[in-house]
């Protein structure tokens, strides 16, 4: 349980909801700092392979710690906290059970801590991306997801509104579907030999796109109208994107294993539906951009909106890139190269992380009544934008060179040599991203425990009706 605090808002339920959001955001921020520090260490090793050469600091153990803690520490906890807040507010009700929310948070943290220690000691369930944690730890994580899904659905069930607002479609969906994903990834009976490869394709793909994507898109549908004080451009388009994403996305996991011995039909089906994904991606992105239409000056004057704008662009560009990467002709160059690492940072960072930060800057002050400084948000925004830009561009170029080297048939070590300078630039970008997270942590501190900045107009429209 959280330490008792003085009620932040007048009503007890509201302050309980605020405490839950604060707990999740602070926890997530701590994991962001840790996971990106590990990422920085990993990036440094590309230039200094002897740095930290003991077993506990070896590249192959730190790399999954970086990815798992980014996914399941940072993004998961932040998005679940935001989903709770959005559900209670948009349904004009109270959280079904704050107690369950705290139990969930404790389980999330328990799993992430145990998983980190296990990986560092060399205990894993295989180099299977995003499910490396030994299975008992993944069951703890699954329990946390199930508790969160139940709590969220039960909150929406006690709503005082006629309709279920679109945000909750996406957040409930994401949390329910990820329980199935986690279960499919954990059960052993169909995961032997080549069979496990096809399950890996399904799992690594869906754990991102049927979990983080819907939860993040759900925050867009709430935060954007709130910040702009205008309804979403098209509710119907949002519903179309919801169902098309649901039907197309789970089919395309095999595009992570093109040209492998997996059945050719599985690979071709994955390519076809990767193209179909343009429907929900472009539909959703257009919806967000059209909601912002004609409000350029608001975006320019509001950092929460600026973060969300970058998030929307990251969603549009990253997902469209994903479609193109699925073509066999382009996979021939890019598959297995560092280009894919650039892609995953464009999506998990440019899209998911920017959107989470924007949503936290938009909603956390509404819950706590405390504001971050404008300078703090500016410093976070610009270091993060410049850093991630350098990161993605350098790995995209470096990865392309790597792929072209292989096609030219030069000795393999030449491709390692040629990417060298781009790995240095990746490190520079990563360092800026990490610095931006330190500023973010400071801003979170001011929005929660620390001293608030002057209440400032996050968006002009919000200045008047911030209590809503």
Partner 1 sequence: MNKLVAIAGGSTLVFAALALMMGVIPGYELSKTPPGPGVEPLTPIQAAGRDVYVANGCGYCHTQQVRPLPSDKAFGRPSTAGDYAYQTPELMASERTGPDLINVGARQPSEVWQYIHLYQPRAVVPQSIMPSFPWLFEVVQQAPAGVTPVALPKAYAPARGSWCRAPKRRRWWRTCCR
Within residues 238-297, the interface with partner 1 by CB under 8 A covers: 242-243, 246-247, 250-251, 253-254, 256-257, 259-263, 266
What is the distance between the alpha carbons of residues 444 and 370, in angstroms, rounded to a whole number?
A: 10
Considering the complex, what minimum distance in angstroms separates the CB of residue 368 from partner 1?
29
Residue (314 or 342) nearer to partner 1, CB: 342
Count of residues that bind partner 1 according to CB under 8 A: 85
Note whether 113 binds partner 1 by CB under 8 A. Answer: no
**Which of 151, 287, 338, 355 forms a contact with partner 1 (CB under 8 A)?**
338
Residue (250 or 369) nearer to partner 1, CB: 250
**Which of 5, 53, 99, 375 forms a contact with partner 1 (CB under 8 A)?**
53
- Contact set for partner 1, span 396-435 (CB under 8 A): 403, 406-407, 409, 412-413, 416-417
- Contact set for partner 1, span 126-155 (CB under 8 A): 126-129, 134-135, 153
Note whether 340 binds partner 1 by CB under 8 A. Answer: yes
**Which of 184, 240, 271, 275 forms a contact with partner 1 (CB under 8 A)?**
184
* DSSP output for 294-362: T-HHHHHH-HHHHHHHHHHHHHHHHHHHHHHHTSHHHHHHHTTSTHHHHHHHIIIIIIIIHHHHHHHHH
Considering the complex, what minimum distance in angstroms separates the CB of residue 311 from partner 1?
23
Residue (194 or 378) nearer to partner 1, CB: 194
**Which of 19, 61, 380, 446 forms a contact with partner 1 (CB under 8 A)?**
61
Residue (254 or 316) nearer to partner 1, CB: 254
- CB-CB contact of 225 with 233 (8 Å): no
- Contact set for partner 1, span 448-467 (CB under 8 A): none
Q: How far is CA 366 from CA 76, 173, 224, 226, 430, in A?
A: 21, 25, 14, 11, 31
Considering the complex, what minimum distance in angstroms separates the CB of residue 384 from partner 1?
25
Question: What does the CA dihedral 417, 423, 425, 429 come to, rounded to 10 degrees?
Answer: 180
Note whether 341 binds partner 1 by CB under 8 A. Answer: yes
Q: At 161, is the secondary structure helix, strand, or coil? A: coil
Residue (343 or 370) nearer to partner 1, CB: 343
What is the distance between the alpha carbons of residues 174 and 62, in angstroms, rounded to a whole number?
A: 28
**Which of 2, 236, 336, 449 forms a contact with partner 1 (CB under 8 A)?**
336
The number of beta carbons lying within 10 Å of the beta carbon of residue 45 is 20
Stretch touching partner 1 by CB under 8 A, among 39-47, 140-148, 223-231, 312-320: 39-47
Considering the complex, what minimum distance in angstroms separates the CB of residue 93 from partner 1?
13
193 sits in the region (left: phi over 0; alpha: psi -120 to 50; else beta) called: left
Question: What does the CA dihedral 105, 106, 107, 109 come to, rounded to 10 degrees?
Answer: 90
Considering the complex, what minimum distance in angstroms separates the CB of residue 318 from partner 1?
17
- CB-CB contact of 364 with 25 (8 Å): yes
Query: Which residues is 453 bridged to in the sheet?
Result: 371
- Contact set for partner 1, span 344-383 (CB under 8 A): none
Note whether 181 binds partner 1 by CB under 8 A. Answer: yes
What is the distance between the alpha carbons of residues 439 and 119, in angstroms, rounded to a whole number?
A: 29
The residue behind tokens 């003991």 is: 54
Question: CA 143, 144, 148, 149 torsion: positive or negative?
Answer: negative
Residue (84 or 303) nearer to partner 1, CB: 84
- CB-CB contact of 296 with 309 (8 Å): no
Note whether 325 binds partner 1 by CB under 8 A. Answer: no
**Which of 33, 40, 58, 230 forms a contact with partner 1 (CB under 8 A)?**
58
């Amino acid at each position: 349980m959280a330490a008792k605090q003085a009620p932040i808002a007048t009503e007890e339920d509201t302050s309980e909801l605020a405490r839950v959001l604060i707990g999740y955001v602070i926890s997530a921020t701590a994991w962001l700092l840790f996971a990106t520090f590990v990422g920085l260490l990993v990036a440094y090793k590309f230039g200094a392979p002897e740095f930290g050469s003991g077993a506990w600091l070896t590249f192959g153990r730190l790399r999954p710690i970086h990815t798992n803690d980014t996914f399941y520490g940072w993004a998961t906890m932040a998005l679940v906290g935001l989903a709770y807040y959005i559900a209670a507010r948009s349904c004009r009700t109270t959280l079904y059970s704050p107690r369950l929310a705290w139990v969930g948070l404790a389980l999330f943290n328990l799993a992430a801590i145990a998983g980190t220690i296990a990986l560092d000691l060399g205990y894993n369930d295989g180099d299977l991306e995003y499910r490396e944690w030994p299975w008992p730890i993944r069951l703890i994580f699954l329990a946390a997801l199930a508790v969160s899904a139940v709590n969220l659905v039960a909150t929406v069930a006690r709503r005082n509104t006629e309709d279920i607002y679109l945000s909750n479609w996406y957040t409930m969906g994401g949390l329910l579907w990820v329980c199935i994903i986690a279960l499919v990834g954990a059960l052993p009976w169909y995961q032997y030999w080549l069979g496990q490869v096809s399950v890996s394709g399904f799992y690594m793909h869906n754990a991102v796109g049927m979990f983080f994507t819907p939860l993040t898109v759900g925050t867009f549908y709430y935060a954007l109208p709130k910040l702009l004080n205008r309804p979403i451009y098209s509710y119907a388009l949002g519903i179309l994107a919801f169902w098309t994403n649901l039907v197309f996305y789970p089919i395309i996991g095999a595009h992570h294993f093109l040209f492998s011995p997996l059945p050719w039909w599985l690979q071709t089906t994955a390519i076809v539906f990767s193209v179909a994904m343009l429907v929900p991606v472009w539909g959703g992105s257009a919806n967000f951009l059209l909601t912002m239409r004609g409000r350029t000056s608001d975006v320019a004057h509001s950092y929460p909106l600026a973060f969300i704008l970058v998030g929307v662009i990251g969603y549009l560009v990253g997902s469209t890139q994903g479609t193109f990467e699925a073509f066999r002709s382009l996979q021939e160059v890019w598959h297995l190269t560092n280009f894919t690492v650039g892609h995953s940072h464009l999506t998990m960072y440019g899209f998911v992380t920017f959107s989470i930060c924007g949503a936290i800057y938009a909603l956390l002050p509404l819950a706590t009544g405390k504001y971050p400084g404008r300078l703090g948000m500016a410093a976070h925004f610009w270091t993060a934008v410049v850093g991630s830009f350098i990161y993605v561009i350098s790995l995209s170029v470096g990865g392309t060179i790597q792929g072209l080297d292989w096609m030219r048939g030069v000795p393999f070590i030449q491709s390692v040599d040629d990417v060298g300078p781009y790995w240095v630039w990746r490190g520079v970008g990563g360092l800026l991203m990490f610095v931006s997270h330190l500023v973010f942590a400071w801003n979170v501190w001011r929005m929660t425990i620390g001293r608030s900045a002057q209440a400032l107009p996050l968006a002009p429209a919000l200045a008047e009706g911030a209590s809503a």
